[in-house]
Amino acid sequence: MADQMTHWERIRATLKGEEVDRVAVSMWRHFYAKETSARSLAEAMLSFQKKFDWDFVKVNPRASYHAEGWGVEVKYTGDRSPDVTKTPVSRPDDWLKIEPLNLNRGVLKEQLDAVELIARDLKGSVPFVMTVFNPISVAARLAPSEQLFLEHLREHTDKVRHALEVVTETFIDFSRACLNRGASGLFFATTAWATSETMPEEDYRRFARPYDLKLLEALSAAEFNILHVCRYHNFLSFLADYPVEAVNWDARGTGNPSLAEGKAVLGGKAVIGGISNLDDLVAATPQQLTGEVIGLRTAMGNRGWMLGTGCTFLPETPETNLTAIRQAVDKVLTTQ
């Protein structure tokens, strides 16, 4: 039995809480060796999409791209996560040197070129979202450690706030440019910050939330913005009012709500997740994953959720496991 809906029809129906022919599904990962140019990044994303026919594409650029324009440098060694070799902030006054970036040159132009190449190939047939970190995540990457960043944030707040404002305005402009080049929305990630393991909720409210909202509210015209709340013990319920269409988190992570629990507190927003992104996914058998998908479909029903990973999954995950997940979604369709 063939799919009854197109990718866009399935995504739009899910976002509206309407019944779908089958659950929408997507998975995403880094292709580290191909992240160093616009063309190779676009080719990696498109090849992955052609192989598995996901319902939406989450563009996974190198994580450092957000900060490189301000002086962060990285070194690649083979096909693994690059190492940070230089950061621009060491003293409190360094935050005052952070200035808006020009989108027409450097790393941000490279990323916009990749977005344009992806859009040109997909031709509007598949939704795709560009990964953008929230402003506090970007600012933190300018310091050599999270510890030093937090020290500056609390003891030299006005100086760090200068950088946060600059980062926010730069990524409002960048995000709008992504939409203008064909992206369907953002994958807006909180990385290490929206969790009680990093800071108390009141600190997040003071130092992060205002900039999150400023950026997201400037992009209300986007059709498919996804909030990704990273890590364990996350602040999902605290971020439930963010102006996005869908929310993704590790629903199997310690201290996090399950997919069903999260759906209950998110006020009608679609939820995305259910599949492990760590060693459990690497070690699972295809048969186990097929059972997991069918079990999630039984528990979650047929409205308001999409199947996906809790975060970027490990590159060493066997392709047979991805195939099993993708085929299990179609198996659920054929048995309805």
pLDDT in tens, 286-327: 999 999 999 999 999 999 999 999 999 999 999 999 999 999
**Residues 179, 245, 331, CA angle at the centre, nearest 5°?**
105
**Contacts of 43 by beta carbon, 8 Å cutoff, 6+ apart:** 34
Per-residue pLDDT band for 333 (boundaries 50, 70, 90) equals low
The predicted pLDDT at position 331 comes to: 79
3-57 per-position pLDDT tens digit: 589 999 999 999 999 999 999 999 999 999 999 999 999 999 999 999 999 999 9
Per-residue model confidence (pLDDT) at position 332: 62
- Cα separation, 9 vs 3, in Å, equals 11
Task: Please write the tens of the pLDDT for every residue from 72-100.
Answer: 999 998 888 999 999 999 999 999 999 99
- Cβ–Cβ contacts within 10 Å for residue 53, how many? 12
Backbone angles phi, psi at 187, to 5 degrees: -105, 95
Q: Residue 256's pLDDT is what?
A: 98
Q: Identify which of 182, 176, 180, 187 has the alpha carbon closest to the alpha carbon of residue 130.
A: 187
Average pLDDT for the chain:
96
Q: Measuring CA to CA, which residue among 188, 198, 290, 275 is closest to residue 235?
A: 198
What sign does the CA torsion over 245, 250, 252, 253 have? negative
- Domains of the chain in start order, with CATH, are 7-334 (3.20.20.210)
Q: For the chain, give the percent of residues with pLDDT over 70.
A: 98
Smallest CA-to-CA distance from 73 within 58, 62, 60, 59 is with 62
Read off the pLDDT of residues 163-220 as tens digits, 9 standing for 90 and up: 999 999 999 999 999 999 999 999 999 999 999 999 999 999 999 999 999 999 999 8
Query: Above 50 in pLDDT, residue 1?
Result: no
The string of pLDDT tens digits covering residues 231-289 is: 999 999 999 999 999 999 999 999 999 999 999 999 999 999 999 999 999 999 999 99
Q: Report the C-alpha gap between 161 and 143 in whole angstroms.
A: 14
User: In this prediction, what percent of the chain has a pLDDT beyond 90?
Assistant: 95
Residue 330 near residue 53, CB atoms below 8 Å: no
Give the pLDDT confidence score for residue 3 in this predicted structure.
Answer: 57
Q: What is the largest CA-CA distance in the chain?
A: 63
For 126-146, what is the mean pLDDT? 98
Residue 78's pLDDT is what? 84
